[in-house]
Amino acid sequence: MVYSHNPQTYLNGYISMMRNMFLTSSVALGTMGFSNRFKEFEIIIKIVGTLIMGYAILYGYTSAKNFSNYIEFLEEKKELADVYEIQLPEWKNWIKLTYLYMILLIIVVVVILFRKILKL
């Protein structure tokens, strides 16, 4: 079947979005870790880091949902090329990895929120 788009390009875009989520969460962790250098603004910097982490989680969820919708679109096609038939289950694993990483980020945010910001 001839597509007006290239499914491999969509996968490459998704992997790029995953990388952006990893990098954004790294910036958030770095911001929170570096916040103790700012005595006057420590709590504000930690809150900003937490917001950046929230953005990374939202970005990961959005990218995973969009890619999942694209996979569902491909699965509905009756004449899907064999190479994509083989790859679709593997592509779903990328989505699972994204959700797993987001769960880890949520755990980190909750721990930091309670231990560092709320001091519980």
**3-state secondary structure (DSSP) of residue 6:** coil
Q: What is the per-residue pLDDT across 6-49, written as a single tens digit (0 to 9) for each?
A: 888 899 999 999 999 999 999 999 998 888 888 888 888 888 99
Interhelix angle 7-34/82-112, rounded to 10 degrees, is: 10
Predicted confidence band of residue 1 (pLDDT cuts 50, 70, 90): low
d(CA 120, CA 118): 6
Predicted confidence band of residue 120 (pLDDT cuts 50, 70, 90): low
Q: In what helix (H) or strand (E) does residue 35 lie, and over which residues does it extend?
A: none
Q: Which tokens is 22 given?
A: 């990893």
pLDDT at residue 3 tops 70:
no
What was the pLDDT predicted at 7?
A: 85
Residue 80's contacts (CB-CB under 8 Å, 6 or more residues apart) are 1, 74, 88
